[in-house]
Structure 1
Amino acid sequence: MTKINFTGNIDNLKEKIEQTIATYELLGNQTSINFDEWFEGWENGFPEDIENRALGNYPATGEKAWRGDASKKPRWRQWSNTNGFIKGEYWRDRSAENESIPLSGTADKIIQHIHQLEYEGGGESASRSKSKHWPPLKGQPEIKLYFRGEKRAEAETSFRIMNKTDDPKIPLSLIEKSDLKTYARKIKEQFATPNLFVWQKGKEILSYQNRWQGFDGQWWLCRNETAGRALLTKILAVADLALDTSKIRMSQATDEAAAFPVNPPDITVLGEVVRQDVERPLVEVAFWRAEIKLAKLPKPIALVERGSVVYD
């Protein structure tokens, strides 16, 4: 183990130690693997490695060559590479344009995750059902947003973070305190700056199915599509995700007045008159607080309260 000696007064020592730690962490993120070269081989089925493959399940040549169908090869779109920390978007099958997943980490971590996606997907000869393509949501960090309005009106919604984990067994970048600070800051920017965001709830339903982004058929009651999109767009912005309009669906009752009356009639239950609550009322609820739940921690962590960042 290398030992480093520091000399100087307290302030100088603190600065030198912080610089040394930062340098160590920077170098620790570097890897000898050239990700671009690896992915070129992965994309094309490693054609240079021919020996000992003819009798296996992944031949490099022939009628059933691995990656033989060019239209279904994997695809990678890199967003950035900062000091060896890579961010980008991965398609297991480039023909499935809407089925991508964001990945981040060092080259070896991303490669490990890509291998896991391929294994769970079952390979090109296996059935390409959605259940095998989709990433698991259970256990992924979950952010919950809470809203309040007049007359005790309340609402909440949640979404998953798909490129981070608190489980060291999962081949994703481990979530850090700095990530939580970033989420808290972005929630404040989107939902409490300059004023508290108001969710206009109503009788229509906007749904969004994009499991790769952490949404498994979530839906929201809204006044109209514009109001629903306003909420969804802000949620996606917290996770640095773009809205895929092809995944949006709107639904409404043919006769809203009959389906959801403003003054529902009383009903009789066990001989007693019971007053019914209004279903899908037109109500406005303002952002109140946000928290994140990690699979390996027993309690959620507060991020934002009443428009102020509390995790800092």
Structure 2
Amino acid sequence: MKNFEHLQSIFCLIHNQLVNEFFRNVEVPEIIEYIRNIPSKASLKKACLIRDNDTASVMDMRVQLFTIIKGERGLLMPNYDKITRKRRHKPQITLYFSEKIEDVEEGYEPVTGEISFRIMDAGSDDDISESQALTFGRRIKTIFGGGQGLLWRKGKDLLSYCDWDRGYQLQILCRSKEEGKRIVEKVLEIQNHTPDWQNANYKANEAPSTRYPTIPPTKTIFGKTKRMPRERPIADVYFRYAAILIRGMMQPVVVYEQGREVEEDLTAS
């Protein structure tokens, strides 16, 4: 029993930190659309947090619920299977962005960004061919790869776009609604999709400079003063490369990278 209590305490600490961070920074209106009897984001968070008196089975349910809300994999329960079964193993493309080195403020790491979506019209084996992957790479090159790479003006506001049937659960940090919508349009253009803006939600904090300070506070750790990580920094990030992950692969494979041919990488994979 002592072994379980020790495991539970460590697991609870780590899991609850992730839950608190996720619900602090992410909007999840799309999941509420499926779970009609849950009235709010706060209620979802409460259901995900592990408590000291939880049994192992209750802990497992909370972890699975949190997983489904994040949209990473399906929850193996009939009531939730309809939410994720269509997209659980579909190929996923991720677009990677980063700040220019010369723009990085002294004392900070470069700001980065990632945007992922799933390819819902993959075959019955949730697979796509090498030629299809290369076609996606060429489309991404055309839309995102010109000049220095597509510019994404990241900021403190959040535009979310959810269209499960088409494979989208986008969370775009931006400085304005227009900028968020521009990035969504570019992502959907890869698959020749047109946004349906009833699937979008925009949220701007009432006190962004306080909630997400430009200069984060410091904390004393082991007697030394450390600067805390920045939350939602304002920065210009540029497209760098795109990678695809297909069920059965150990690692994603690059389908396009600024200034480099990647056909050999796909062949070798």
Normalized against structure 1, the TM-score is what? 0.52
Select which of 205, 227, 233 maps to 1:253: 205
Matched, 1:161 2:113: no
Does the aligned pair in 2 maintain the 1:196–1:307 contact within 8 Å?
A: no
RMSD of aligned Cα (Å):
2.4
Gaps of at least 5 residues in structure 1 are 1-126
Does the aligned pair in 1 maintain the 2:89–2:247 contact within 8 Å?
A: yes
Q: 1:130 to 1:233 in 2, by over 3 A?
A: farther
Select which of 152, 165, 171 maps to 1:212: 165
Select which of 90, 98, 105 maps to 1:148: 98
Q: Which residue of 1 aligns with 2:175?
A: 223
- Which whole-Å deviations, capped at 9, do the CAs of 1:33-58 have from their partners, x for residues lacking one? xxxxxxxxxxxxxxxxxxxxxxxxxx
Does the aligned pair in 1 maintain the 2:111–2:233 contact within 8 Å?
A: no
SS at structure 2 position matched to 1:277: coil
How many matched pairs? 179
- What is the one-letter code of the residue matched to 1:297? M
Give the distance between the partners of 2:192 and 2:137, measured in 1 at CA: 13
SS at structure 2 position matched to 1:159: strand
CA drift at 1:258? 1.0
Q: Which residue of 1 aligns with 2:262?
A: 310
Q: Which residue of 2 aligns with 1:186?
A: 139
Give the number of the structure with larger relative contact order, counting CA–CA contacts within 8 Å between residues 6 or more apart.
Answer: 2
Give the distance between the partners of 2:94 and 2:143, measured in 1 at CA: 14
Select which of 249, 268, 292 maps to 2:220: 268
- What is the one-letter code of the residue matched to 2:112? E
| Greater gyration radius | 1
Q: 1:291 to 1:254 in 2, by over 3 A?
A: same
SS at structure 1 position matched to 2:172: strand
Give the distance between the partners of 1:139 and 1:209, measured in 2 at CA: 18
- What is the one-letter code of the residue matched to 1:149? E
Give the distance between the partners of 2:204 and 2:175, measured in 1 at CA: 11
Q: Which moved more, 1:264-273 or 1:247-256?
A: 264-273
Q: 1:221 to 1:199 in 2, by over 3 A?
A: same
Give the distance between the partners of 1:300 and 1:267, measured in 2 at CA: 36
Normalized against structure 2, the TM-score is what? 0.60
Structure 1 or 2: more strand by fraction: 1
Does the aligned pair in 2 maintain the 1:184–1:309 contact within 8 Å?
A: no
- Aligned ranges for residues 47-62 of structure 1 at < 5 Å? none
Select which of 129, 137, 145 maps to 2:87: 137
Select which of 215, 231, 236 maps to 2:188: 236
Structure 1 or 2: more helix by fraction: 2
Gaps of at least 5 residues in structure 2 are 1-77, 105-109, 265-269
CA drift at 1:262? 1.7
Q: Which residue of 2 aligns with 1:25?
A: none
